[in-house]
Structure 1
């Protein structure tokens, strides 16, 4: 299906496991409760897509456009989302565990009580990002990696133009 235009389609509860969806257009599509585990969405356009409860575990979202998408309770574990565009994306109660967001654009994204164990770098755009997360994140800087959580993560995000509360404790 690589390169196909499937915009506005209703793919609720569909099975995309290990699919090649490179450069596919799913603009405004509904993938509610779909399974996209291990799928390759490199360069795909999921602008304004409904991705509620979608399983993206082990998927590739490299360079994917998720602008304005709804990822309520979505699962993203071990996901390569380097260079993804998530401008205005809604991450509500989602699990982002071992997600690579280096060079990603999260401008105006909304995060609400997400597990947020992600990788970021200086090029990750966090301008206008808001909400709350359970950290920590791995920050890649000049050949080294450091872990940021709690107040230190809140301050780093604030320096980059965002306002996120980091929830600590069990």
Structure 2
């Protein structure tokens, strides 16, 4: 059932952004025990981590139901959490660096202050999750983060752009619709063709970020640093482009889409 739900989500993502943002949960029963309950305790998880360390490898929690657990502060570096369910789980300050989070579920999970450096997040569903202050440097978040908070988070070097070299997956993208990215570090982040419509990017550092073909319609970039950022074909309809830093050094600034519909002055 989980595999079918994920395949359906991939098909929706490939079909187009307007459909993708609405139907990532297509086919998934979010009220089922598999999505809302845990099959083990924190103590059980700690025991598995200890056993894995004794063997000299990372813990394997793939496919486990861990929703609602408090796993804050645990060392889950390199852990295999592929297809695991951690909805509403607490992972405050947890180290998930290099972890495999592909096709996993983190809906309304609390990952504030967590480390997810270079984490693999292809196909992740993390709607309304809290990543405030988390470190996602060089992570690969190709998934659904609609409504999540990355306030003050480090996303430098993030690899969230669509891979246009792979035609079968060419439209897979990061969905940051209505996401809070205020004050986030997005230096050098690849968000090409990403969904950033209605995102809060106030004061964000977008230095050298790739926004080529991204949907920034309705986004708020007030006070953001856009020096060196690539805006080629980025849709800025209704976006607030006020008090930008480094605007004169942004790349392909004149190649924005719907530039005449952007808000460039403060409302009195």
Q: Normalised by the size of structure 2, how large is the TM-score? A: 0.54
Q: Counterparts of 1:99 and 1:23 in 2: how far apart (Å)? A: 21
Aligned length: 153
The RMSD of aligned alpha carbons is: 1.8
Do structure 1's residue 116 and structure 2's residue 216 form an aligned pair? yes
Segments of 5+ residues of structure 1 without an aligned counterpart are 142-155
1:5-154 superposed matches below 5 A: 5-52=95-142, 54-72=143-161, 73-117=173-217, 118-121=219-222, 123-132=223-232, 133-136=234-237, 137-140=239-242
In structure 2, what is the equivalent of residue 144 of structure 1? none
Indicate if the aligned counterparts of 2:227 and 2:247 stay in contact, CA closer than 8 A. Answer: no
Indicate if the aligned counterparts of 1:127 and 1:160 stay in contact, CA closer than 8 A. Answer: yes
Higher helix share: 2
Indicate if the aligned counterparts of 1:125 and 1:160 stay in contact, CA closer than 8 A. Answer: no
Runs of 4+ in 1 over 2 A off after TM superposition: 156-160
Q: Counterparts of 1:43 and 1:168 in 2: how far apart (Å)? A: 32
In structure 1, what is the equivalent of residue 77 of structure 2? none
Per-residue CA distance 1:5-46 (angstroms, 9 max, x = gap)? 110011101101100000000001101010010000000000
Larger Cα-atom Rg: 2
Structure showing greater relative contact order (alpha-carbon pairs closer than 8 Å, 6 or more residues apart):
1
* CA 124–168 in structure 1, closer or farther in 2 if over 3 Å, else same: closer
Higher strand share: 1
In structure 2, what is the equivalent of residue 162 of structure 1? 250
Q: Counterparts of 2:136 and 2:240 in 1: how far apart (Å)? A: 26
Q: Quote the offset at 1:159 in angstroms.
A: 3.4
Segments of 5+ residues of structure 2 without an aligned counterpart are 1-90, 162-172, 260-268
In structure 1, what is the equivalent of residue 94 of structure 2? 4
Q: Quote the offset at 1:168 in angstroms.
A: 3.8
Q: Normalised by the size of structure 1, how large is the TM-score? A: 0.84
Indicate if the aligned counterparts of 2:225 and 2:246 stay in contact, CA closer than 8 A. Answer: no
Q: Counterparts of 2:230 and 2:241 in 1: how far apart (Å)? A: 19
Q: Quote the offset at 1:108 in angstroms.
A: 0.5
